[in-house]
Structure 1
């Protein structure tokens, strides 16, 4: 198995602070949120963590609760910001289960691909707990921008 650093996208690697309002309240619009994420910048602190992990020689793995139909937009965003990676794990289309269930399965997929997550960066506290329960040694709980 190869050691890997795992990075969440929205709210973690991708600074979505200016578009979070699209996913709150009764009029949630995830399609608008994901489309608008194309114009969001990466978070400098998390990007620095990604580059440090790369320098240590671990695989860079990205995961997201975004549906697979946003894969091309996601890959374009990564390319625009010159963020190379060794794997991208996404929610299947029309999978509306809670993020904890989806990401628990994605974590198994990462392991099945021969990667051992030794470090993770995540902004969702429930997913942080999932990662710690799964035995990830170094979990970085990323605070919201401006908090």
Structure 2
């Protein structure tokens, strides 16, 4: 089993602070949010942590609450910012379960792929709690 560092995308690796308003209030528009995320920069501090994990020999695993229909946009964003990774885990299309529920299932998929998460970066406190409860030793809430 290979040791890995896990990075959330939106709000963590991808700085979505300028478009967060699209996911708030009664007029939430997640399609507009995800489309607009293509123009968002990476967070420099989290990107540095990712590169440090890579230098230390950890696999780089990315996960997101984005639906799978946004996979190409996500891969383009990663390539455009030179962010190499060893795995990308996404929610299935039309899966509207809470993020913590989706990510609990994704943790099983990651484990099934023989990856053991030893450190993680996440911006959602309930998901960070899930990671801690799952035995991840170093969870960074950003």
User: TM-score scaled by structure 2?
Assistant: 1.00
Cα distance in 1 for partners of 2:132, 2:28 equals: 30
Match of 1:97 in 2: 97
Match of 1:44 in 2: 44
Where does the alignment leave 5 or more consecutive residues of structure 2 unmatched? none
Map of 1:4-15 to 2, 5 A cutoff? 4-15=4-15
Tell me the C-alpha RMSD between the 2 structures.
0.3
Instruction: Report how many residues are paired.
Output: 142
Where does the alignment leave 5 or more consecutive residues of structure 1 unmatched? 143-147
Match of 2:113 in 1: 113
CA shift, 1:3, in A, is 0.1
Cα distance in 2 for partners of 1:126, 1:101 equals: 10
Cα distance in 2 for partners of 1:61, 1:22 equals: 26
CA shift, 1:141, in A, is 0.6
CA shift, 1:15, in A, is 0.1
Match of 1:145 in 2: none
Match of 1:128 in 2: 128
Cα distance in 2 for partners of 1:61, 1:100 equals: 17
CA shift, 1:17, in A, is 0.1
